[in-house]
Chain A
Amino acid sequence: MMMKPDTSNPVAGTSPNLLVATIRKPWIWSYLAALLAFLATMVLSGGQGALSLLYAALTFASFSVMVGIGQMFVITLGPGNVDLSIPATMTLVATLSLKFMGSEAGLILPGFLIALIVGLGCGMFNFALILLLRIPPIIATLSSSFLYQSLAIWSNRGLRIKPPEPLAEFSTSGVLGLPNLALVALLLAGLAWVVLERAVVGRWVLAIGQNLRAAQLSGVPVHAVRFCVYVGSALLAAVTGFLLASFSGGANLNMGAEFMLMSIAVVVIGGSSIAGGNSNVPGIWGAALFMFLLVSMLNSYGLGAGVRLVLTGIIIVTVVIVASKRKHSA
């Protein structure tokens, strides 16, 4: 429901205009890219396993979507705003909450609560560094991530504690042909869309990203909004870490590593501006699907790990170039 084109736009009344309006959306490219990668894989397999590929794509994309939403709000705040602590927060939350639950089914709810509290703590610490010590966000989240990572290493001690059975069951199964994780991520994306596009807070975030000074002068509670954004990003990282550990049978120390790149990539490939002030939620889903389908396409073509990495990099850069060219000509 949240994904349909913006019908409140008066231009989008009739159907040809609707098409034009949809094509003009910055996020359409990420879906096209995802579709291309999907088709390229299907060409090779002759259409075999299309459904299972989609199912896997939805599952794995959900993790990128959840951290991507948090990162998107942070990036929207304007130049210099990036949350580099997402991987460390995920790892710390997963380690602590799984350790607490100790595979006991009865402790799932308190375990989830602990995940949220740890996430809240990380977010508040990040923002305290940014606001009180006036450390640039990149370096603040970077240095705090060093601390979180150390905490995780110290509390983990190389043990791999299994998630409680019902939780593992929940995170690996689905309803109505959709993985549960994708439903959670869809729900969160829907919420994020409402917050960004329909709530005052979202407008404030965009206003800060477009011009901090102007936003301040027009009475936007800048500090409060930035606080919410950084804490929100940490909370989303917490939920993602919790679910990822449940999904993959336990926490491990570099489980978050790939999400530093992923969280930023899905935001930018999804058509949000890295300079802030101009973001969209649907693109995150498109980009997350694209990133997974791209890797599985390269996999299915039987390429070695090195070639796969090189091609992934080249394609990411190409997508960014294509997207930017479109922006300039518009």
Chain B
Amino acid sequence: MNRELMRILLPVLSLAILLGAVFYLQPRAMSYFGLNLLFNLAIPVALATMAQMMILMVNDIDLSIGTFVSFCACVTATFVQETPLLGYAILLAAIAGYAAIGALIYVRGLPAIVVTLGMSFVWGGLAVMILPSPGGAPPPWLRTLMTLKPPLVPLAIIAPIVIALLAHLFVKRSSMGVLLQGVGGNERALERAGWSIVRLRATAYAVAGFFGVLSGMALVGLTTSADANIALRYTLLSIAGVILGGGEFTGGRISPIGAVIGALTLTLAASFLSFLRLSPDWQIGAQGAILILVLAARLLVSRREAAA
């Protein structure tokens, strides 16, 4: 339990320090409006990070999540908006597709990294076919939802908290979540205990697909239009977010709350520079630097832990 707490402490601290620095540089950010602006775009990133986390949890890696989110955004901005029934059917089929890929990877013993790389072409191609040039519009209810102004606390703060809590309940408190962690931890033991690994892995991928769909929808709700390349950076950001949040590549060791905080930290790192009046050229670099700094800090912590 203590370990779990340590795992979450570092991401929390890094976000707090970064946020403190932003508030120090620009006190006006410390408002309802300011916070909403800072974390608005973190919502789709956090959802994509949840998707990636489901895949990392079963020891695979998904290099197609960015193109998948773009695809979902394109579907949302076109089909869901014009012919809702068909639109939702497509999104459901996409989730089923994700589950099928998960099953295929396990049954044929394929390397997830390559299959998802190949799938990134497929999703990207489908997105281009749906929306050859930027455009589309969000369904009205989605726009209303994403621009909601709840009293006291802005949506950009409430949404990540809700996402983190729901994912935490699913992964850490539901029996399915524990089984899925088990797939990452010791697949063979689960198999011997009579569980169908194919079914579990397909479930993990389906949940990932579900979060990918949500991410694409949230993105369209925020930006009011879509294009085929809208979320390409999410692939790398989502992996970084999970790791930043204390997750690991193997053993089913992940933390949903940490991962959401990781996503928030990365989003904040990108906008932090504008508060320092530094050139936006360094936006991506700042994300890289934050990653390295936090992982270095983690090494120090774990060393001290080992020494104690």
Contact: B279 with A309, CB < 8 Å? no
CA distance A50 to B249 in the complex (A): 46
Kindly identify which residue among A150, A310, A325 contacts B285, using a CB–CB cutoff of 8 Å: A150
**Do B282 and A154 touch across chains, with their CB atoms under 8 A apart?**
yes
Please tell me if the beta carbons of A316 and B117 are within 8 angstroms of each other in the complex: yes
B287 within 8 A of A: yes
- Say yes or no: A320 contacts B125, CB within 8 Å: no
Q: Is the CB of A143 within 8 A of B291?
A: yes
Question: A143-B240, A310-B129 are known contacts. Are A316 and B110 too (CB-CB below 8 A)?
Answer: no
Q: Is the interface of A mostly helix, strand, loop or mixed?
A: helix
Tell me which residues across on chain B come within 8 A of A84, comparing CB atoms.
236
Q: Using CB atoms, name the residue of chain B closest to A139.
A: B243
Rounded to whole angstroms, the CA-CA distance of A250 and B63 in the bound complex is: 29
Are A306's CB and B126's CB within 8 A?
yes
Question: What residues on B are CB-neighbors of A328 within 8 Å?
Answer: 108-109
Which residues of chain A are within 8 angstroms of B284 by Cβ–Cβ distance? 146, 149-150, 153
- Complex Cα spacing A33 to B284, Å: 38
Tell me, in angstroms, the Cα distance from A133 to B111 when the chains sit together. 27
Query: From B297, which residue of chain A is reached at the shortest CB distance?
Result: A133
Stretch at the interface among A17-25, A222-230, A260-268: A260-268
Q: CA of A153 to CA of B287 in the docked complex: distance in angstroms?
A: 15
Please count how many residues in chain B sit with their CB below 8 Å of the partner chain's CB atoms: 47
Which residue in chain A gives the minimum CB-CB distance to B248?
A136
Interface pair B117/A150, CB less than 8 Å apart: no
User: Is A43 part of the contact surface with B, judged by Cβ < 8 Å?
Assistant: no
Q: Which of A142, A308, A317 contacts B239 (CB 8 A)?
A: A142
In contact, A310 and B282 (Cβ under 8 angstroms): no
Distance of A10 Cα from B66 Cα, bound (Å): 49
B271 close to chain A: CB less than 8 A: no
Cβ of B185 within 8 Å of any chain A Cβ, yes or no, is no
A313 and B119 within 8 A (CB):
yes
Q: Which of A133, A139, A143, A325 has the most CB of B within 10 A?
A: A143
Residues of chain B within 8 A of A321, CB atoms compared: 104, 108, 110
Contact A268 B114 (CB under 8 A): yes
Chain B neighbourhood of A268, CB < 8 A: 111, 114
Given A133-B296, A138-B239, A320-B110, is A146 in contact with B285 using a C-beta cutoff of 8 Å?
Answer: yes
CB-nearest residue of chain B relative to A319? B118
Tell me, yes or no, whether B299 is within 8 Å of chain A by CB.
Answer: yes
A297-322 interface code vs B (CB 8 A; 1 in, 0 out):
00000001111111111101100110
A271 nearest CB across to chain B (Å): 12
Kindly list chain A residues whose C-beta atoms are within 8 Å of the C-beta of B121.
261, 309-310, 312-313, 316
Smallest Cβ-Cβ distance to B249: which chain A residue: A136
Shortest CB-to-CB span from A153 to chain B, Å, is: 5
A134 at the binding interface (Cβ < 8 Å): yes
Report whether A317 and B115 are in contact in the complex, using a CB–CB cutoff of 8 Å.
yes
Distance in angstroms between the alpha carbons of A96 and B121 in the assembled complex: 31
Q: How long is the Cα–Cα vector from A50 to B236 in the complex, in angstroms?
A: 39
Residue in A closest to B285 when the chains form the complex, CB atoms: A150
CA distance A133 to B142 in the complex (A): 43
Q: Nearest Cβ in chain A — how far from B210, in angstroms?
A: 21
- A129 contacts the other chain (Cβ, under 8 Å)? yes
B289 at the interface (CB under 8 A from A): yes
Q: Is the CB of B125 within 8 A of A146?
A: no
- List, in ascending order, chain B residues with CB within 8 A of A150's CB: 281-286, 288
User: Which of A147, A150, A151 has most B Cβ within 10 Å?
Assistant: A150
Task: List which A104-144 residues lie within 8 A (CB) of chain B.
Answer: 129, 133-136, 138-139, 142-144
Q: Does B92 sit at the interface, judged by CB under 8 A?
A: no
Among B125, B243, B288, point to the contact of A313 (Cβ < 8 A).
Answer: B125
> For residue B20, which residues in chain A have a CB less than 8 angstroms away from its CB?
none
User: Which single residue of chain A is at the shortest CB-CB distance from B289?
Assistant: A147
A150 to B284, CA, bound (A): 6
B30 at the interface (CB under 8 A from A): no
- Could you tell me if B119 and A153 are in contact, using CB atoms closer than 8 angstroms? no
Question: Cβ of B240 and Cβ of A129 under 8 Å apart?
Answer: no
* A133: chain B residues within 8 A (beta carbon): 292, 295-296, 299
Chain A residues lying within 8 Å of B282, measured Cβ to Cβ, are 150, 154
Cross-chain contact A313 with B118 (CB below 8 angstroms): yes
**Does A37 touch B at the CB level, under 8 Å?**
no
Nearest-Cβ distance from residue B17 to partner chain A, whole angstroms:
18
Task: Give me the interface of A with B, judged by CB distance under 8 Å.
Answer: 80, 82, 84, 129, 133-136, 138-139, 142-147, 149-151, 153-154, 261, 264-265, 268, 274-275, 304-314, 316-317, 320-321, 324-325, 328
3 closest residue pairs by CB, A with B = A150-B285, A146-B288, A309-B125
**Which B positions have Cβ atoms within 8 angstroms of A?**
61, 63, 104, 108-111, 113-115, 117-130, 132, 236, 239-240, 243, 248-250, 279, 281-289, 291-292, 295-296, 299
The 12 sampled A-B contact pairs (Cβ below 8 Å) are A139-B239, A143-B295, A150-B286, A265-B117, A265-B118, A268-B114, A308-B125, A310-B121, A321-B104, A321-B108, A325-B108, A328-B108
Q: What 8 new A-B contacts, CB under 8 Å, besides A311-B125, A312-B125?
A: A133-B292, A135-B295, A144-B292, A261-B121, A305-B132, A310-B126, A317-B118, A324-B108
